[in-house]
Chain A
Amino acid sequence: MELAIQARGLRKRFGSTEVLAGLDLAVQAGSIFALLGPNGAGKTTTIGILTTLVRPDAGAATVVGADVRTAPAEVQRRIALTGQSAAVDGELTAIENLVMLGRLSGLGRRQARAKAAELLARFELEGAAKRRVSTFSGGMRRRLDLSLSLVVDVPVLFLDEPTTGLDTRSRQELWAIIRSLADAGTTVFLTTQYLEEADRLADRIAVLDRGTIAAEGTAAELKARVGGEFVELRDADGELLREIPTDGSVHALRGAIDELDRSELGAVPGARIGIRRPSLDDVFLAITAGGTPGSPGSSAVRSGELLETN
């Protein structure tokens, strides 16, 4: 298989913080690749390097054969970026935004108009085509932002946290669009903080931790390293009392519940039992702390971010 993106030993430091400490990546052409990591892990910095916005201190990267350091303009011809903050012009209408991007991408006036109409239809923005973008909802903005990256069919699409801050419905709409893009042959490189997003979308997932790729594989491979459901016990105020990792089987879940029942914690007045799926934190702990996932009071307490699965 051909590689669309290849990075070797990428390093980047801002002042005294070393953000990337020798990052290696290989992304198959035509696949969806997710870079997973919490806030501040260096996801945007990685995208910045691969899209020529940020100059790496060391290391090399190529995008469809073009070197980000020595041939940035050639890289720019092969990519489109939909960044973390919506890069749309709020003063202009949706159609004006699209025509502008089309013209800047080398389309003639008529071609640009035709492409704009096509994309508005595809992203279900026809009704809002002539509205100022500043009046758009978050989901509409994100869809327009993505459509701006598609005025020409470039080989590689970079999406920096494409669904952060969106409601469930908008998120699922966007997932469907991203999947259809990859089905049509576009290589998609996306970053996310959500394991679920990586799980649903990506062919391969890389976990970014302390400036390097701590683990890489399919969603199933990564989750196998964490295990299955956690059984947790919380007191009346919702404080976590105890958490037991399981492999998700009926037998293991019953065992965990029995264990809680036997312990004195089970008798705490108002204590309630719950079951939750592994969160990004659990994957993180498993991968970075050498595999003691869900030790009492660890993960859920650390960030409070639980994975929501429908």
Chain B
Amino acid sequence: MTTNATTLPARTAPAGPTRALRPRIRGTVAERVFVTRSLLQELRDPESMLMAVVLPVMLMLMFTFIFGQAIDPSGGYVDYVVPGIILLCAGFGASSTAVSVSRDMTTGIIERFRTMPLRSGAVLTGHVVVSVIRNLFATAVVIAVALLVGFRPDATALDWLAMFGVVALYILAITYLFAAIGLAASSPEAANGYGFILLFLPYVSSAFVPVETMPDWLRPIAEHQPITPVIETIRSFLVGTPLGSSGWVALAWCLGIVLAAAVWGAWLFRRKAGRR
């Protein structure tokens, strides 16, 4: 007979309900664990870390030594371009946040976290915190190299502090934005593709050439996109160009982006990782 009855012997072990329950975790344990996780992922990928620093440095060297001579033969171009490079670098790393977030949302690991008694949104907090740390570090390296190749800022300690504050806020804004993009993207590869926005935007800003030198049709775009006021603010702190209204406009842009990305991201997270 093939209906070989594989009836299993009755189990004698204590039944399930007498077992322990999964303890609730307290305070910010989940956030801390997820920051550690993102940090480990980051350290596992030294190449992308290296790229995030090397590429902006290369760009800076190119602009100061190749184009710089043509634009300003007196050699002063480095002072103009460094603030722009700092922003380019700060934005460079943010796109990897989109990839990490998208990977978590599409591989099934989020389902495991969501069936545990914890705030699963803490996964995103981990990626954002680590991205901000990494980009601040990359920015510091870029500034150090800039000083080596002749960048001579005219800034007090307070100016430096203010500059780092602005850069940190800008990093936070685009990291939030890219975390949300990661939630919206259908795959990590797609998420990676959106990174081009941040590589493109600085060129249509006052980062490399003054806005006044651009064609008429491009000027309004360059003047009114968020990167220009942020760059002008940094420039003002570092090399003492007039600040004007740039500071407030930059602040408004950054806070606006944080807010919009947080609302959009929360909505996407609920939709993608909420109870279906």
Partner-B contacts on A (CB < 8 A): 1-2, 4, 29-32, 48, 51-55, 64-65, 72-73, 76-81, 83-92, 96, 100-101, 103-107, 132, 148, 152-156, 182-187, 199-200, 203, 218-220, 223-224, 228-229, 247-249, 277-278
Shortest Cβ distance from B108 into A: residue: A85
B275 touches A106 (CB 8 A): no
Residues of B93-112 at the interface with A, using a CB-CB cut-off of 8 Å, are: 107-109, 111-112
A85 partner residues in chain B, CB cutoff 8 A: 107-108
Supposing A55-B276, A85-B107 touch, asked if A152 and B23 sit within 8 A by C-beta, the answer is: yes
The count of residues in chain B whose C-beta lies closer than 8 Å to any C-beta of chain A is 43
Residues of B7-47 at the interface with A, using a CB-CB cut-off of 8 Å, are: 7-8, 11, 13-25, 29-30, 33, 36-37, 40-41, 44-45
Supposing A55-B275, A220-B3, A248-B2 touch, asked if A105 and B116 sit within 8 A by C-beta, the answer is: yes
Partner-A contacts on B (CB < 8 A): 1-3, 5-8, 11, 13-25, 29-30, 33, 36-37, 40-41, 44-45, 107-109, 111-118, 275-276
A53 touches B114 (CB 8 A): yes
B7 partner residues in chain A, CB cutoff 8 A: 218-220
Shortest Cβ distance from B41 into A: residue: A91
Shortest Cβ distance from B26 into A: residue: A106
Q: From the candidates B2, B29, B40, B114, name the one contacting A278 in the complex (CB within 8 A).
A: B2
B16 touches A103 (CB 8 A): no
Shortest Cβ distance from A3 into B: residue: B17
Further contacts, 18 of them, CB under 8 A, given A4-B15, A182-B11, A249-B1: A29-B15, A30-B14, A31-B11, A51-B115, A55-B276, A64-B17, A76-B115, A85-B107, A100-B33, A103-B25, A104-B118, A105-B25, A106-B23, A132-B44, A152-B20, A155-B16, A220-B6, A220-B7
Q: From the candidates A48, A64, A185, name the one contacting B276 in the complex (CB within 8 A).
A: A48
A200 partner residues in chain B, CB cutoff 8 A: 6
A32 to B13, CA, bound (A): 13
In angstroms, how far is the closest chain B Cβ from the Cβ of A260?
A: 19
Q: Would you list 12 pairs from A and B whose C-beta atoms are within 8 A, ordered by A residue? A: A30-B15, A78-B21, A79-B115, A80-B22, A91-B41, A96-B40, A106-B22, A154-B21, A155-B21, A182-B11, A185-B19, A218-B5
A185 partner residues in chain B, CB cutoff 8 A: 11, 13-16, 18-19
B114 partner residues in chain A, CB cutoff 8 A: 52-53
Shortest Cβ distance from B16 into A: residue: A155
A73 touches B275 (CB 8 A): no
A77 partner residues in chain B, CB cutoff 8 A: 21-24, 117
A92 partner residues in chain B, CB cutoff 8 A: 37, 40-41, 44
In angstroms, how far is the closest chain A Cβ from the Cβ of B128?
A: 17
A152 touches B15 (CB 8 A): no
In angstroms, how far is the closest chain A Cβ from the Cβ of B124?
A: 15
B112 partner residues in chain A, CB cutoff 8 A: 81, 83, 87, 101, 148
